[in-house]
Structure 1
Amino acid sequence: MIRNVVVGRLHPDADPAAVQAALDAIVALPVEGCLDVRVGRDAGLRDGAWGFAITSDWVDAEAYRVYDADAEHNRIRAELFGPLCAEIARVQFDA
């Protein structure tokens, strides 16, 4: 299984409703091979935390690669997250 973890640092003026809409769009993606996807805004428990996180579990590396190349996924990245984020970090690992 491959776990994908994404965290985003939001622009200070990012609209919370737009952030939630972008996260909801990720959850709604119907990509084969996805075992689980979780999203959430930072709970504000520590200063300096990033604005949101996404975790998704994939049956294998190939399923993750299909997701990574998916046209709708890339549209969401560019059109929904792009304007909101100052920085995005990602990591994939065997879980």
Structure 2
Amino acid sequence: MIRNVVVGRLHPDADPVAVDAALAAITALDLPGRLDCRVGRDAGLREGAWGFAITSDWADAEAYRAYDLDAEHNRIRAELFGPLCAEIARVQFAA
């Protein structure tokens, strides 16, 4: 299994409604090999945290790669998250 973890640092003026819509769009993707997907905005428990996180579990590296190249996924990244984020970090690891 491959776990993909994404965190985003939001622009100070990012609209929380738009962030929620972008996260909902990620969870709505129905792609082969996705085992689980969790998203959420930072709970504000610690200063300096990033604005949101996405974790998704994939059956294998091929399923993750298909997700990474998926046209709708890339549209969501560019059109929904792009304007909201100052920075995005991601990591994939075998879990």
TM interval, short-chain normalised? over 0.9
Q: 3-state DSSP class of the match of 1:83? A: coil
Q: 3-state DSSP class of the match of 1:47? A: coil
Matches within 5 A, 1:30-45: 30-45=30-45
Matches within 5 A, 1:76-95: 76-95=76-95
Query: Which amino acid in the other structure matches residue 9 of structure 2?
Result: R
Q: Shift of the alpha carbon at 1:7? A: 0.0
Q: Shift of the alpha carbon at 1:62? A: 0.2
Paired residues in the alignment total 95
Q: Shift of the alpha carbon at 1:27? A: 0.1
Q: Shift of the alpha carbon at 1:64? A: 0.1
Query: Which amino acid in the other structure matches residue 58 of structure 1?
Result: W
The aligned counterpart of 1:8 is: 8
Unmatched tracts of structure 1, length 5 or more:
none
Query: Which amino acid in the other structure matches residue 90 of structure 1?
Result: R
TM-score, reference length from structure 1: 1.00
Unmatched tracts of structure 2, length 5 or more:
none
Query: Which amino acid in the other structure matches residue 31 of structure 2?
Result: V
Instruction: After superposition, give the CA deviation of every residue in 1:44-91 in whole Å (9 maximum; x if it has no partner).
Output: 000000000000000000000000000000000000000000000000
Q: Percent identity?
A: 85
Matches within 5 A, 1:4-83: 4-83=4-83
Q: Which runs of 4+ in 1 moved over 3 A?
A: none
C-alpha separation in 2, matches of 1:85 and 1:31: 24
